Structure 1
Amino acid sequence: MSALPDALPAVPPRSNWLLSGALTLGVLLILAGVFWPTVYSMVEIWERSETFTHGYLIFPISAWLLWRQRHELAQVRPRPDLRGLILLAAAGAGWLLADAGSVNVVAQYAFIAMLIAAVWTLLGWTFVWAAFFPLMFLFFAVPVGEFLIQPLMGVTADFTVAMLQFTGIPVYREGMFFSIPSGDWSVVEGCSGLRYLIASVTLGVLYAYLTYRSWKRRLLFSIAAIIVPIFANSGRAYMIVMIAHLSDMQLALGVDHYIYGWVFFGLVMLLLFWIGSFWREDDQPEPSQSEPGVAPPAAAPAGRAARPRLQVAIIVLLVAGLWPAYASWLTARPLPAMPALQVESQGGWQAGETFTSWTPHWVGANRQLRQSYAQAGRNVLLELNYYVTQRQGAELINSQNFMIRQKDPAWSNVGETRVTVEIGGVSRQVRQAKLRGSDGQRLLVWQWNLINQHPTVNDHAAKLILALDRVRLQRDDGLSVLIATPYDAAEHATAVATLARFAADMAPAIGRALDQVDGQ
């Protein structure tokens, strides 16, 4: 009679998984309800933006990936691990700061991290390690990437103009606008290629995980899925301009403009996946979680008796629920008193008549001042937008605050960047834009934010400072300062000097206006 093997794998009882799985699913659903505003902010963007429509598929795909691993995961013994509470608390604190600063994308990332931390706490690190990719794939549900639009537009414009010049076609360029003998073109948000990039990265990472077993190959293919669509989009833009140019502006200007773009992108992605298939490894088994050089983190100590699952679930909900409760209390606080926004004329500047029809697009301000000033024949427009506290839709730093709208019928932004200027003998950065009106008027615009009497154009630092101030119950108000003056190519230096002098002369009055309006 032969002896039985000594090392048969121990399969957890089915009842353990039924109870642990049901409890974990229940906790995740409760967290989704507690953080519903954050969840809804993701769903809302999936619904209104074609760029992020794939978000609807992320959770089902992650569930399918877990189902593919069901036999392997069934070998894992579900065991509560309180170390997951550390990640849960850290993610919750991050969510609180993001909510205080109205940074939706960070709050959404923090929420996904809290879901993973809850799974870690309830099922243990061994399960998280075994299901690492399906859980990490959930981060693709966050609609992120709009901050890449302007850089990608710049890449597209640079490449297209360079290729047109290489082809021998004369080009006159001004910012994102350029002209060739056959017509005028502009690179707008739809030309940035962000939609192609996000689709490529999401599909590329999933394809790499399913097709390869080596993490090096998965990483290399994922990098290719980032680089290829950027160059492909630039080539697409050049191709469309050339088609229109060679057809006397008859083709690639209407619906076919988008059709050519998507067909070209589809062919590029098909080519990328086809080339990647030459190194496919999906006929091989998944590598061991403890393959040489990839040692998994240690599991929770097993010497102590397992903690009651229901008790751990309650702890998870209490730790996670602390942050939205505090955030709700912050939101319920009454706004401080806000008298009218006033700025006294200083340095010889006198209130003058309006000299431009341009109006910047700043939203949600509690108080606003728009006044033209004149001195020695020079005109300057001052616009102040004051935000008494930071909350969604009424925040100093907001993607909806910009110089002009896309496709504005009267004004074009022909160049926007950060520049270092000298104001009152001190060098500092401002956000500078050059605007061109359909009536021929040109404006040189400077903009910066004033927080605690400190000027800044660093949006990330400003968001963090305001969020920390709000959470610590400090004043979290801020002022957007925008000044503009007419200019032409021959008087650019004069316009710069005019704005610098105005900013230096009026700085004390603007600073006093900030403290006056705060009213605390």
Structure 2
Amino acid sequence: MLVLGVLLAFVAFAGGLIELVGRWYKQEEYSHGFFLPLITLFLLWHRRKVLVQSRGQPSGWGVVALVIAALMLVLGEVTAIFLAIQLAFLLALVGLILCYGGVSLLRVTLLPIAFLLFAIPLPYFIDSQLSWRLQLASSGIGVGILRFLGYSVYLEGNVIDLGAYKLQVVEACSGLRYLYPLLSLGFLMAYTYPAKFVWRALVFLSTIPITVLTNSARIAMVGVLVNRWGSGMADGFLHYFEGWVIFIVCQLILMGEVWLIERFTHRRSMFEVQQFPMPSVVQPSGKGFTVRMSRPLLTAVVVLALGWATALTVGGREEVKPIRTSLRTFPLALGNWRAVESSLSIEVEQALGFDDYVLADYRDDQGDLLNFYVAYYGSQRKGVSPHSPQVCIPGGGWVISGLSTTAVRLNDGTPLDVVRVLIDKDGQRQLVYYWFEQRGRHIANEYLMKWYLLQDAIVRNRTDGALVRVVTPLRQNEPQSAGDERLTAFMRLAVPMLGPFVPQ
């Protein structure tokens, strides 16, 4: 029955698990995820005798955990928040273990299951924010190292100016490709390290500064090589080879940290302190909240089946689709702005997954230029939702050098919060405003957008919405305030026109 419950869990949570594997395949920083389930299975196999001896009376808390997991599954399917589905799957495994062997068995299996948390990717918009912030941090420290070595360098955003060459610290150099795998490795090392909790926590948490500092050293090393032998040193095999070397260096630093702790505490060798410990048998207890039935796992299977059926029913119900006008008829003349409409390639349209959009370049009488883009989604279920510009901007080779939230006051005095992004690439600067039009709300916070999506999906049976983005290039030496004025003036004309196209 336990095997049946686990198989049913895989089927019920398949949507989130498939998306999980897709992220492992598409994003190099998560490619280590393929190995983590294997390590979890090894940990369980390693303690197999203890598992048998620790099985106790089934606990009713397992049913509670499964009910919560089923609710998270339904919410995840309705709102397309895959993170909720993936976390719910782990909670379902916890529930099944409680229903099979009680709290005593869970205490022995909890750590291998918790290790799977490192296999769950962060949401894209959180990933992107971490990425560009780490780029800025690594660039700044890398420049500091170069200056310490006697090189005259100038840092603008994420571009390191070496004089003859300009080195751009792109998304791939943010350090996330080291950080996520190193966190997993640090967790394992802390687990196998027989020491006080404070030392084990130090080993695990130190993976973050180790990653940032070694990645900064890597950037500095690339700067030295580029300065001496040309820009070819920053690309190709050498660049990836440096990445592997830095990751190995990170591992050696972790091992050196353990050695240093031992040097001043127990003075044990590395072979003594880095072995998989065998947990003690947890004596089963009949005390507490228990389920008294001949087949306790039957309840677990029923709960999972009901949750799966509910998710299919609710997730597949017909949504409220408000009447609206196609964005392809959005006015191309707004005040003194005149537009030339453009389009995206078929491949990009399919990747973005929107139902309707407008993309136009507006120019005014003074020759000022801006780009206006609105992508409308009739439904944001099943993983189809606006792509955060914080994800797409670095993907286009642009570097985010400034990010903040600001309020634009419309003609009627209504404040509209927008995300303000300053980006640059190859000496070109652009100012970006974007926000989310979501069922009558103007939202600049992506966490808040997800919350209202969850709320409206349940209460209003609506998940439609749009991303609105306005971009203007900044001339050389033009102050950012001029771009702010330009975007604000255009928004005061364009935002009132959105009503028929993005229903409120």
TM-score after normalising by structure 1: 0.81
Q: 1:52-71 maps to which residues of 2 (within 5 A)?
A: 52-71=30-49
> How far 1:459 moved relative to its partner?
0.9
Q: Is the 8 A contact 1:355 1:372 kept in 2?
A: yes
1:133 equivalenced with 2:74 (yes/no):
no
Deviation of 1:139 after TM superposition, in Å, equals: 1.9
For residues 271 and 173 of structure 1, do their structure 2 counterparts lie closer, same or farther at Cα, with a shift above 3 Å needed?
closer
Q: Choose the corresponding residue for 2:355, options 366, 376, 379.
A: 366
User: Offset at 1:350?
Assistant: 4.4
Q: Residues 272-323 of structure 1: CA distance to partner in whole angstroms, max 9, x if unpaired?
A: 2143143665689768799xxxxx9995346x74442353243333344244
C-alpha spacing 1:317/1:355, structure 2 compared with 1 (3 Å): closer
Distance in structure 1 (CA, Å) of the matches to 2:501 and 2:234: 52
Partner amino acid for 1:214?
Answer: K
| Cα deviations by residue, 1:356-405 (Å, 9 ceiling, x for unpaired) | 999xx772221112334455524443221111110345312557962463
| Percentage of identical aligned residues | 24
Match of 2:61 among 59, 62, 83: 83
Q: Deviations over 1:490-511 (max 9, x none)?
A: 3532221121122123322123
Q: Secondary structure at the match of 2:501?
A: helix
Matches within 5 A, 1:338-377: 339-341=325-327, 342-344=329-331, 348-353=335-340, 363-377=352-366
Closer, same or farther: CA 59–441 of 1 in aligned 2, 3 Å: closer
Correspondence 1:445 to 2:432: yes
- Residues 453 and 511 of structure 1 are in contact (CA less than 8 Å); yes or no, is this contact kept in structure 2? no
User: Which protein is richer in helix relative to its size?
Assistant: 2
Return closer, same or farther for 1:221/1:441 CA change in 2, 3 Å cut-off: closer
| Structure 2 counterpart of 1:456 | 443
- Higher radius of gyration, 1 or 2: 1
Distance change >3 Å, CA 128–CA 319, structure 1 → 2: farther
**Aligned counterpart in structure 1 of residue 401 of structure 2, from 400, 415, 425:** 415
Q: Match for 1:127: what amino acid?
A: L
Which residue in 2 is equivalent to 1:207? 189
CA 1:309/1:355 → structure 2, altered by over 3 Å: closer, same or farther?
closer
CA contact (8 A) 2:132 2:174 kept: yes
1:511 aligns with 2:493: no
Contact 1:443 1:484 in 2 (8 A): yes
- The correspondence of residues 388-399 of structure 1 with structure 2, limited to 5 A, is 388-392=378-382, 394-398=384-388
CA RMSD across the alignment:
3.5
TM-score between both structures, scaled by the size of structure 2: 0.83
- Structure 1: how far apart are the matches of 2:242 and 2:471? 40
Give ranges in structure 1 of 5+ residues lacking alignment: 1-22, 291-295
Tell me what 2:151 maps to: 169
Larger RCO: 1 or 2 (CA < 8 Å, sep 6+): 2
Report whether the alignment pairs 1:120 with 2:109. Answer: no
**Most deviating of 234-243 and 415-424:** 415-424
- In structure 1, the partner of 2:269 is none
- Tell me how far 1:220 sits from its aligned partner: 1.9
Structure 1 segment 323-338 matched on structure 2, within 5 A: 323-330=310-317
Runs ≥4 in structure 1, deviation > 6 angstroms? Answer: 282-290, 354-358
Change in 2 beyond 3 A, CA 1:239/1:323: farther
- 1:43 aligns to 2:30 (yes or no): no
Q: 2:171 aligns with which of 189, 192, 196?
A: 189
Q: Secondary structure at the match of 1:143?
A: coil
Residue identity opposite 1:97 in structure 2: L
Q: For residues 114 and 287 of structure 1, do their structure 2 counterparts lie closer, same or farther at Cα, with a shift above 3 Å needed?
A: closer
Aligned residue identity for 2:499: G
In structure 2, what is the equivalent of residue 498 of structure 1?
Answer: 486
The equivalent of 1:18 in structure 2 is none
Name the stretch that deviates more: 467-476 or 272-281: 272-281
1:260-279 aligned within 5 A: 260-277=242-259, 278=262
SS in 2 for 1:80: coil
User: 2-side partners of 1:357 and 1:442: how far apart?
Assistant: 22
Q: Distance in 2 between matches of 1:111 and 1:432?
A: 37
Write the letter of the residue equivalent to 1:370: L
Residues 356/285 of structure 1: CA separation in 2 closer, same or farther (3 Å cut): closer
SS in 2 for 1:480: strand
Alpha-carbon distance in structure 1 between the residues aligned to 2:286 and 2:443: 45
Q: Which runs of 5+ in 2 are unaligned?
A: 267-271
